Amino acid sequence: MTGPFFGRALSVVVGSLLLAASAWAQAVPKLDSYDGVAVRILQSNNAGDIQHIIDPTINEVVGLIRGCPHPHNLTMHPDALYYYCANEQDRTVDVFDTRTLELVEQIALSQRPNKVAVNKKYRKIYAGIIRRSAEPLGPEVTAEPDGEMLAWVDVIDIDTHEVIKSIEVHNPVHNVFMTPDERWVVAGLRGEIEAGEPTIQVIDPETDTVAWGIEMTGYKQYGRTHHEVRPMAFEADDDGSTKRFFAQATGINAVWVYDWESRELLEMLWPPELPLWEKNADGIQTGDMHGLEVLPDRSAVWASSRLDSRIYGWSLPDLEYIGSVRVGPSANWMTSTPDSRYMYVAVSGADYTLAIDLETLEIVDRITTGARPARISTAILPPDRVNPTGTNMGPRE
């Protein structure tokens, strides 16, 4: 199929795009045209060791990252020099050259990572550590004499690729995110949560210390009033600061909406209730909802539901329900194109990635990827940092 993006003019310098695509950049920077840059969709496959790079102009796999077994996610260097992969098997962040797709090095971590995130403003990588460790790698951290297992976020200097600090947090980390202005690092925690304990902790990247935390509460299910967090997404205000944030919780098919400044729960977004025969409980790993994305133009927030095998949208800023798209078993993480027109959805239960037109709410392409595609992201690169199409391909499995 011919892809959706052709014949556009770009009036922004490539370097500026990569470093500051907009004053209030969302998770995916906002672009109205793609000439002079290359957009790539990075699809990690959690049950394999081959990761797929998709060109959204043709909706085809154009590169393979071979290595990084059991990846949690892929992200990119601020200057597009490297792709970073959270390697759950080797307990490392694996560094791949964006042009050759060859492994450059492995950065050892304190324990097994989950999601890693790049902070471009402070030029650091933050790795959420999913297992407790008595031996943090940060040079300023002294392990407890009794060998107590603690929870950490490892901090990597982007220029030296060295772990420069391990930040102690309350519970092991499920995912790490950046606020739209990259002023704050947000760690979503997992584990049994009691009243008075944080579900989310916010780290100041200037000092690499925990600034504050928040409980995820306001709803009772299965006898629990406090919940562990799954994916999160953030909405920027006009001045670039964080306005609201959205969060999903374990075992609950809904989205929490919080005010960033007051840290108060504003409301919960619930999709239309489906009959039981349309629900999918197989392989959802208690992640009833497991994917959130605020579009680059801030026109909508979208949530994927593993339980419902659908993605759901609500308009911004008024949070009016838009509709849904049925995508297949275990709908997982999503990422949008920089023009906010298309959403790419990892379908973990069927080993493919879907391209969805958000104007028509229709599936426009299905791309075969790897074993259990999960975390997915959008990368914007200068043309000289893109791997030549067709190189490093060979067998896809």
Q: Which helix (H) or strand (E) holds 249?
A: strand 242-249
Tell me whether residue 384 is exposed, middle or buried, using C-beta atoms within 10 angstroms of its C-beta: 0 to 12, 13 to 18, 19 or more: exposed
pLDDT tens, residue order, the chain (397 aa) = 434 433 333 333 344 444 344 444 688 999 988 889 999 999 999 998 999 999 999 999 999 999 999 999 999 999 999 999 999 999 999 999 999 999 999 999 999 999 999 999 999 999 999 999 998 999 877 666 676 889 999 999 999 999 999 999 999 999 999 999 999 999 999 988 888 999 999 999 999 999 999 999 999 988 889 999 999 999 999 999 999 999 999 999 999 999 999 999 999 999 999 988 888 877 677 878 999 999 999 999 999 999 999 999 999 999 999 999 999 988 899 999 999 999 999 999 889 999 999 999 999 999 999 999 999 999 999 999 999 866 666 665 5
pLDDT digits (tens, 9 = 90+) for 19-49: 344 444 688 999 988 889 999 999 999 998 9
**Tokens read off for 52:** 């797929």
Q: Which of 201, 198, 219, 222 is nearest to 210 (CA)?
A: 201
**Residue 186 covered by a domain:** yes
**Residue 9 covered by a domain:** no
Q: What Cα–Cα distance (Å) separates residue 357 from each residue in 116, 207, 336, 345?
A: 28, 42, 10, 11
**Residue 264 covered by a domain:** yes
**Tokens read off for 332:** 């997982």
Which distant-in-sequence residues (6+ apart) come within 8 Å of 82 by Cβ?
76, 95, 96, 97, 98, 104
* Predicted local distance difference test score (pLDDT) of residue 21: 44
pLDDT digits (tens, 9 = 90+) for 325-344: 999 988 899 999 999 999 99
Task: Indicate which CATH number applies to the domain containing 280.
Answer: 2.130.10.10
- Dihedral (CA of 58, 347, 267, 119) sign: negative
Number of domains in the chain: 1
What CA–CA distance (Å, rounded) separates 84 from 44?
11
Task: Supply the range of the domain harboring residue 277.
Answer: 14-385
This prediction has a pTM of 0.92
Which distant-in-sequence residues (6+ apart) come within 8 Å of 219 by Cβ?
225, 227, 252, 254, 268
**Residue 122 covered by a domain:** yes
**Residue 66 covered by a domain:** yes
Torsion of CA 344, 69, 174, 73, to 10 degrees: -30
What CA–CA distance (Å, rounded) separates 298 from 96?
31
What CA–CA distance (Å, rounded) separates 342 from 167?
37
Strand partners, 349: none
**Residue 71 covered by a domain:** yes
What CA–CA distance (Å, rounded) separates 345 from 18?
23
**Residue 63 covered by a domain:** yes
What CA–CA distance (Å, rounded) separates 378 from 335?
6
Residue with tokens 């040079």: 139
The conformation of residue 14, written as its DSSP 8-state character, comes to H
